Amino acid sequence: MARRAAGAWAALGPLLWGCALALRGGMLYPRESASRERKELGGLWKFRADFSENRRQGFEQQWYRTPLRESGPTLDMPVPSSFNDVGQDGQLRGFVGWVWYEREATLPQRWTQDLNTRVVLRIGSAHYYAIVWVNGVHVAEHEGGHLPFEVDISKLVQSGPLSSCRITIAINNTLTPHTLPPGTIVYKTDTSKYPNSYFVQNTNFDFFNYAGLHRPVILYTTPTTYIDDIDVTTSVDQSTGLVHYQISIQGSEHFQLEVYLQDEEGNIVARGTGGHGQLQVPNAHLWWPYLMHEHPAYLYSLEVRLTVQTAAGYMSDFYSLPVGIRTVAVTKNQFLINGKPFYFHGVNKHEDADIRGKGFDWPLLMKDFNLLLWLGANAFRTSHYPYAEEVMQLCDQYGIVVIDESPGVGIVLSQSYNNQSLQHHLEVMEELVRRDKNHPAVVMWSVANEPASSLEPAGYYFKTLIAHTKALDPSRPVTFVTNSKYDADLGAPYVDVICVNSYFSWYHDFGHLEVIQLQLATQFENWYETYQKPIIQSEYGADAITGFHHDPPLMFSEEYQKSLLQQYHLVLDQKRKEYVVGELIWNFADFMTDQSPVRVLGNKKGIFTRQRQPKGAAFLLRERYWKLANETGYHPPAEKPQYLGKSPFTW
């Protein structure tokens, strides 16, 4: 991705770094209720990339002060989506630097005239650094491309007779040694080979650095005294479910709170008052993973009602939070959900698809979930960044267990382990835990993927990071994902579960399938002997180009991919009886990467193509996963969904 300009946002100096980056307040998903409205701003936005040599023209000319069209030509850009693949401009596809989005939003009259209404702008994801203006006024900045941020814009939209507001968002996708994921800008100074000011963005991760407004942009309202955050943890005492809640309120110190827990039929099964407490649910329906119970993914609803007296009368706020009652625990050789051994058999994924890039898309999401159910998968890891909130909600509803991973991938530079980087990583984990803490499907936090272990500061960095994450949420185990035994001093002593990536007979010993069993067994035995902790084979696989066939199996053929998986499965079947508690294939579907001689239009390790069509390995894994579900004593659904088709195993 080479362009003739400087792309680092640090050149903006105090404009960016003068603001505190830490989010304040809660991060409840914007749900409609009797007291709350929401307006989605999806569709076509005005868009322009700043192709100026220093990438600063938009700031020098203050594009945010007037409609974007007045300062130059614009494109129509769909939101949510990545901007890279929508058009035909190759220069835009690999663009590094600032891009500008703009949208005029018409507001309901009551939003602009009722001073008891609070109007909030929420941006689901802007990759990577975002600056936001409303009607030309700077309102927010955020660092990090995979988590939401929001800002109260009530004063701006209620300051006069307005019927609309102009939202301008500048986004910079430049990655530095201190971002997550990290990267470097390398300037090519040999003018006999490169033009003046030529640079490339280098990264150390294997997926394309898609950028833009990837997730929904929403305006929503609350009363001026409102429910700011809800924190729910659950436990079980024999057959009684215990729901521990803590609620924070903003806008007033004098209020009343009523809390009701409703079952799926709408019956109130428990009630409480006040900002914190414990609800007891006799004969509780527990939240079970898919295929682990005849009624998986049971969700209660925590209904919170806030009442406050004002000079104009009583004001109320209502919020409904789905709640799954379940427990998670780890022993030295088991992962337990509700006290029963759980075996992860699932996938790693990417938010990636044709044209839309990493943009959120409901049809694509439902296709992926239907494929997961067809496959018999009960889990996935959000490799290598947090996924959209709507994904987490579907996991709650379908019983798909989640290892929730931060964007800490490709950390291989010594400068990425300094205090600046650590502070940012800690803030990202805080944002992630704040957003996803109430999802029963989320059973473990992953703080990083395959960090460089030989660098001296790494041990302190990850010891601090893991301890901080456990302090944020003591109710869930913590892991990091490794591909090296040298990580012994990095984080393995501090995590609860060890996740191991290995690609035997792919990235080394090319084509020699016969060495897999010995090497994999040795890997497991060495890790367990050292740490006495349960292990997940968190990545394994091989590229296969759909339609390429060869017998005997050769690399890149569908037969080689299947044969490699079968060799892994032979060892996994031995070790899952001892201390291996899961296997996650790399990858669910083919995905785009940077161009290189070893990538043919992206990474082809998917068991499905990028268009979600199955390769031979998909049928192999489907047979295995349904068999695992039966052999481990789990129960299939009470009623087989029609879209699952006929299973080769007993129901």
Check if 60 is active-site. Answer: no
The candidate with the shortest Cα–Cα distance to 68, out of 136, 6, 124, is: 136
Decide if 305 contacts 316 (C-beta within 8 A): yes
Sign of CA dihedral 587, 589, 378, 235: positive
Decide if 580 contacts 535 (C-beta within 8 A): yes
Helices H, strands E: what count in the chain? 12, 33
Give the containing element (helix H, strand E) for 168: strand 164-172
Beta 129-134 vs 164-172: how paired, if at all?
A: antiparallel
Compute the distance between CA of residue 404 and CA of residue 388 in angstroms, rounded to an integer: 11
Decide if 54 contacts 118 (C-beta within 8 A): no
463: left (phi over 0), alpha (psi -120 to 50) or beta: alpha
Compute the distance between CA of residue 103 and CA of residue 219 in angstroms, rounded to an integer: 12
Instruction: Give me the catalytic one of 141, 450, 558, 583.
Output: 450
Compute the distance between CA of residue 279 and CA of residue 283 in angstroms, rounded to an integer: 13
424: CB partners within 8 A, 6+ apart: 21, 143, 144, 178, 179, 180
What are the backbone dihedrals phi and psi of residue 75, each rounded to the nearest 5 degrees, phi first?
A: -110, 155
Compute the distance between CA of residue 612 and CA of residue 524 in angstroms, rounded to an integer: 32
User: What is each CA distance from 82 to 224, 287, 575, in whole angstroms?
Assistant: 34, 35, 41
Compute the distance between CA of residue 107 and CA of residue 137 in angstroms, rounded to an integer: 17
What are the backbone dihedrals phi and psi of residue 527, each rounded to the nearest 5 degrees, phi first?
A: -65, -45
Compute the distance between CA of residue 153 and CA of residue 118 in angstroms, rounded to an integer: 8
What are the backbone dihedrals phi and psi of residue 487, each rounded to the nearest 5 degrees, phi first?
A: -75, 5
Decide if 386 contacts 181 (C-beta within 8 A): no
Q: Which neighbouring-strand residues pair with 569?
A: none
Decide if 316 contacts 284 (C-beta within 8 A): no
The residues annotated as belonging to the active site are 450
